[in-house]
Structure 1
């Protein structure tokens, strides 16, 4: 388990170094994950070695959300004071995202000649 965790964290570190070193807007952990995938494709034995640890981490992924929940509770006063504004912002931004997604889908469908009514 320790070697597998070290491999996962090493790829995250390398991704972070590349991201910050080159000034990329892509997060380092994402670059590390892409590198880890490439390593898995090149060395299948590495994937077999890391799989049990990765599955264990994924099985307990919900524990990683505990700090976020604690943060919400710790700032409950701010949430109470600004709750209505946050709720409005969430609803409006969700509706806007759905509308933009639908309009984009329609525009791409028109451009590619794929129409739903055909």
Structure 2
């Protein structure tokens, strides 16, 4: 268990450090996750080393939505005053994600239907 957590938090630390040192506009946790993904793809680390810990984090992911929920309640007045741009951005990003995902799956499938 300690090995898996050390690997996951190690990549988080590396990502945060790179983001801070190079003043990147990308959050450190995203950089760490991308680095972890590449480490898994190129067999630098084994999936078995982090599988149990990753499953634990996924099972308990709902806890991570509590702070954003509290933020929405706290800033409801501001969100309400900007409802149209927020809703527009949500609809456009949803549609764009849907189309791009469909095209990507089509590309991976070789255009077969």
What is the TM-score of this pair, normalised by structure 1? 0.63
State the match for 1:15 in structure 2. 15
Aligned to 1:113: none
CA distance in structure 1 between the aligned counterparts of 2:79 and 2:39, rounded to whole angstroms? 45
Q: Please give the alpha-carbon distance, in whole angstroms, between the structure 2 residues aligned to 1:25 and 1:82.
A: 25
Whose Rg is larger? 1
| Deviation sequence 1:9-37 (CA, Å, 0-9, x none) | 11011011112212222221122112212
Structure 1 residue ranges without an equivalent (≥5): 106-118
Structure 1 runs of 4+ with >4 Å offset: none
What is the RMSD computed on CA atoms of the aligned residues? 2.6
Corresponding residue SS for 2:24 = coil
> Corresponding residue for 1:58?
58
Count of aligned residue pairs for this structure pair: 95
By percentage of residues, which structure has more helix?
1
Q: What whole-Å deviation, never above 9, does each CA across 1:55-90 have from its counterpart, x for those lacking one?
A: 1111111111012223333x2xx52x4454232232
1:32-47 correspondence runs (5 A): 32-40=32-40, 41-44=42-45, 46-47=46-47
> For the residues of structure 1 that align with 2:29 and 2:70, how far apart are their CA atoms?
24
Report the TM-score, using the length of structure 2 for normalisation: 0.66
